[in-house]
Amino acid sequence: MSTATVAQGPASFSGDAKKGGLSQWQIWGIILVVPYLAVFALFVIYPVFYAFWLAHSPESYVKLYDDPIFARAVVNTLVFIFVAINVKMVIALGLSGFFLNDRKWIRWLSVLFILPWAVPSIPTILSVRFMLNPEWGIINQTWFKLTFEDGPNWLNEPWLALTFAMLVHIWKSLPFWTLILLSGRMAISNDMYEAASVDGASTVQKFRFITWPSISQLYLTCALLSTIWTLGDFNSVYLLTGGGPADLTHVLATLGIRYLRLAEVDMSMATIVCALPIILPLVYFMMKRLSK
Amino acid sequence: MNRPILRSITTEAKLLLIGIPVFIWTILPIYHLALFAFSSKDSAFSGNLWPTHPTLDNFIIVFGQKHYYLNNFWRQLWNSCFIAAMTGILTLIVATFAAFAISRLKVKGGRIVLNMALFTYFIPAAFLAVPMYRVMGLYGLLNSQWALIIAMMTIAAPYAIWVLKQASDKLPVELDEAAVIDGASPMQLFWLVYIPLMVPSLVAIGAYAILLAWNEYLYAFLLLSRDTSIPLPVALGNFLAADDSPWPLLMTTGLIYAVPPAAIYYVFRKYMVSGLTAGATKG
C-alpha cells in the first residue's frame, strides 16, 4: 500500500497545533482509541495474564498428564485439525471454481450455500444429532427400510462420532472459506485465461499455471487462520457428542471447558497452556502476514 | 452445429453433478429441522422424508409457552435480541472510533493498536473463554447480560477494526484536506465526512457483530445461567441432556431461532460479502 505518500495526514494542515505538544488531531486520535484499548486491557490482556498465573503450578501439568482423557484429547485435536482443515480447504478451493461459473441456478445455489455460515450452530447441530439417533433418526430409519436391519449407533463409536463432529464443523465453515477463495479467484484477470485458451491450455494447466500461483498465498493464509479457528471450535464436538462416549471424543477446546465445569480451574488453564505450542507459531505467522 | 450444443449439455451436466450434491449437503440439516417443526408428534418419528400431515401445532405450543421446557421462551428470545443489538451498537462505536483514529487521524502508535486487535482475533474463542469467565467473576459481572455483551464485543471489535481500517484507507485523503481547509474540527470531520462515506462498511460490520452475538453458544452458556437471563441457544442446549427431550419442540424453537440471522444475512448480504471479504483477502 502506498500510504507513505499520505503519511502526513490531516495533522499537517492544522497549523495552530504542534506547539511543542500534541496537535488536536493527535489528542482526538488518542481519545477515540482509548475505548478499544480499555476493552482490550480489561478483557484480553488481564485475563490472559491471569490465566498464566493460575496455570503456573507444575502439579496441574502432572495431573493433566496423568489424565487419560487429556492424552486422548490431544490425539483427537491433532486428527481433527489435520483432517478437517485439509478436507475443508481443498473442497473450498474446488467449489470456488464451481461458483465462478455464471449461471442463474448457480447464483441461486451460492445464495443458499451461505446458510450454514449464517445460521446458529445449535439448531443445526441439534438437527444432525437427531438424524444420527440410532432408533428414531432418519438415517437409521431409512437404513431399516432398505435392509430390515438396525443401523449402527453412530455416536457411540468414538472415531465415528469424531468424524461426524468433523463433518459438522466442515458443514458450518465451508461457505466462509469458499467465499473468500472465490473472491480471490475473481480478482484474477480474465485476460490470462483467454490467452491460455488461445494457446490451447487445458483446464488443469490453467489451474496449475494461472489460478494456483495467484491464490496460493491467500490459500495459505486461509488455511492458517482456519487452523486457529478450528482449534477454538467448541460447538461441533460439544453439541454433537458432548465429549462422549466415555469422554473419548474430547478435543482441547471442550476439555478445557469440561475442567472448568468440574471447578478444576487450574487444570482448565493448564489445558489451554498445552495448546500454546500449536497456537503460538500460528499466531506469529498470521501476525507477520497480515500486519505487513 | 451439433457439436457446440452437445458440448454445452455436457458442461451443464458436469456442473449439475457438483451442484446437486452441494445443494443436498447444504440444505439437509436445515431441511430436517423444518421437517420436524412442521410434523405432528407421531409422524415426526416415522422416518418420513417429508411431512405427511403438515401442521403448525408445534409453533402454537412454542409461541404459547405451553410446555414446561418453554416457560421462558419469549423472555429468552428477547434476551437474544437485546444481547445481539447491544453487541452490534457497542462494537460499531468502539471499532469506528478506533479505525477513524488509526486511519484518518494517524494517531501515534496506531499500528500497535491494530496489531493488538489482530492478536485478539487470533486467539481461539474457546481458549479465551476460560480466562474471560474467571475475570468476569472477578469483575462481578457473572450472570449479567453485560458480561456476554462485553465478551462478544471483545471478540467482534478486532475484526471490525481491521475491516473498517482497510475501508478507511481507501477513502481519498483530499476529502479530509478539503474539510480541514474549510475549518472542520476532528469531530466534524468524523461525523460529517467520515461516517457518511463509511455507511456500507458500517452496515457490514454491524450485521457481522449482531450475527456473531446472536449465534454464540459457548460464552452465553458459561457466563449466564438463570432461566430468565439466558438467551435462547443456552436454553436449547440445556434440554439436550434430558432423556425425554421434546424433540419436535426443540427443533421448532431451533428453526425460529435460526430465521433472524438468515434474514439479516439476506437483507445485508451485498454489504457483508464485499465488506467482509475485502477485509479478509488483503493478506
Cell of A18: 504542534
B189/A10 CB distance under 8 A: yes
Q: Hunting for cell 425425554 — which residue is that?
A: B244
CB B248 within 8 A of CB B44: yes
**Which residues in chain A are contacts of B142 at CB distance < 8 A?**
none
Cell of A59: 502439579
pLDDT of B281:
55
Cell of B37: 417443526
Cβ-nearest to A11 among B25, B106, B135 = B106
- Shortest distance, CA A258 to any CA of chain B (angstroms): 10
CB A52 within 8 A of CB A274: no
**Which residues in chain A are contacts of B111 at CB distance < 8 A?**
291
Cβ-nearest to B134 among A101, A129, A265 = A265
Of the residues A100, A106, A130, A146, the best mutation for testing chain B's interface (the one with the most B CB atoms within 10 Å of its CB) is A130
For residue A52, which of A253, A269, A280, A277 has the smallest C-alpha distance? A269
Closest CA in chain B for residue A46: B135
pLDDT of B280:
57
**Which residues in chain A are contacts of B118 at CB distance < 8 A?**
286-287, 290-291
Cell of B73: 421462551
Cell of A105: 441456478
Phi, psi values for residue A89, rounded to 5°: -70, -40
What is the rounded radius of gyration, in angstroms, for the C-alpha atoms of chain A?
A: 25
Phi, psi values for residue A136, rounded to 5°: -105, -10
Please enumerate in sequence order all residues whose Cβ is within 8 A of that of A13, keeping only pairs 6 or more positions apart, or say none. B177, B180, B181
Cβ-nearest to B131 among A48, A125, A252 = A48
Rounded CA separation B26/B264 (Å): 19
Residue by residue, DSSP assigns B89-109 as HHHHHHHHHHHHHHHTS--TT
End-to-end CA distance of chain A: 9
Of the residues B86, B122, B252, B277, the best mutation for testing chain A's interface (the one with the most A CB atoms within 10 Å of its CB) is B122
**Which residues in chain B are contacts of A36 at CB distance < 8 A?**
94-95, 97-98, 113, 117, 157, 161
CB A175 within 8 A of CB A113: yes
Q: What is the DSSP letter of A210?
A: I
**Which residues in chain B are contacts of A51 at CB distance < 8 A?**
130-131, 134
For residue B204, which of B116, B126, B270 has the smallest C-alpha distance? B270
Rounded CA separation A280/A275 (Å): 9
Cβ contacts of A145-151, under 8 Å, gap ≥ 24: A145/B47
Cell of B262: 438468515
pLDDT of B48:
73
B222-B224-B230 Cα angle (round to 5): 125
B32/A36 CB distance under 8 A: no
ipTM for the complex?
0.91
Closest CA in chain B for residue A44: B120
Percentages helix, strand, coil for chain B (3-state, rounded to 5) are: 80, 0, 20
Q: What is the pLDDT of residues A44-74, one digit of tens each?
A: 999 999 988 888 888 889 989 999 999 999 9
- Shortest distance, CA A19 to any CA of chain B (angstroms): 17
Q: pLDDT averaged over consecutive 10-residue blocks of chain A (292 residues)?
A: 40 45 84 94 93 85 91 95 96 95 91 92 92 84 84 89 96 94 89 89 90 92 91 93 90 93 89 89 85 68
**Which residues in chain B are contacts of A256 at CB distance < 8 A?**
126-127, 130
B151-B153-B156 Cα angle (round to 5): 115
CB B62 within 8 A of CB A153: no
Closest CA in chain A for residue B166: A1
Cβ-nearest to B124 among A10, A26, A228 = A228
Q: Hunting for cell 449439455 — which residue is that?
A: B9
Closest CA in chain A for residue B37: A127
**Amino acid present at A52:** F
Rounded CA separation A269/A205 (Å): 50
Cell of B137: 467473576
pLDDT of A4:
38
Rounded CA separation A6/B172 (Å): 10
Rounded CA separation A45/B238 (Å): 31
> Rounded to the nearest 10 degrees, what angle do helices A252-261 and B125-138 cross at?
20
Residue by residue, DSSP assigns A80-99 as HHHHHHHHHHHHHHHHHHHT
B110/A29 CB distance under 8 A: yes
A33/B23 CB distance under 8 A: no
Q: One digit per residue, pLDDT tens: chain B, 283 residues?
A: 567 788 888 888 999 999 999 999 999 999 999 998 998 877 767 767 777 778 888 899 889 988 888 889 999 999 999 999 999 999 999 999 999 999 999 988 898 999 888 888 888 888 999 999 999 999 999 999 999 999 999 999 999 999 999 899 989 888 888 888 888 888 889 999 899 999 999 999 999 999 999 999 999 999 998 989 999 999 998 887 666 778 888 899 999 999 999 999 889 888 887 766 665 555 4
For residue A48, which of B135, B140, B157 has the smallest C-alpha distance? B135
Closest CA in chain B for residue A228: B124
**Which residues in chain B are contacts of A252 at CB distance < 8 A?**
127
